[in-house]
């Protein structure tokens, strides 16, 4: 087992909850524009407010730039609850 796995296991053993485990962490999320990715991103933002940052890896598609795909993602209705509660925590 490498050092990273040992550190993760130690943090899991010391944490009383999943929210505490994710506090002050940075997450890289791929496939965030898909159905499951949007749901995961929304859940992470809603349930774990102490996550330091979530980085989203996007790539251009045939007819859409990265910027257009990002705008479409943040304008998705799934994020309305978060925007209503916290303003707009989604920044580019």
Going by C-alpha positions, the residue among 14, 79, 23 that lies closest to residue 46 is 79
**pTM (2 d.p.):** 0.76
DSSP H helical segments within 1-92, as ranges? 3-14, 18-22, 35-47, 66-74, 80-86
How confident is the model at residue 13, as a pLDDT? 73
85 vs 44: which has the higher pLDDT: 44
Q: Model confidence over 51-64: pLDDT tens digits?
A: 999 999 999 999 99
- The string of pLDDT tens digits covering residues 27-42 is 999 999 999 999 999 9
Query: What residue ranges do the domains of the chain occupy?
Result: 26-86
């Amino acid at each position: 087992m490498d050092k990273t796995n040992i550190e993760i296991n130690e943090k899991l053993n010391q944490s009383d909850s999943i929210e505490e485990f994710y506090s002050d962490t940075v997450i890289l999320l791929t496939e965030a524009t898909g159905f499951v990715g949007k749901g995961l991103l929304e859940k992470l933002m809603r349930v774990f407010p102490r996550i330091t940052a979530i980085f989203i890896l996007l790539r251009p598609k045939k007819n859409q730039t990265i910027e257009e795909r990002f705008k479409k993602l943040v304008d998705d209705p799934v994020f309305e609850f978060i925007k209503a509660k916290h303003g707009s925590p989604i920044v580019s």
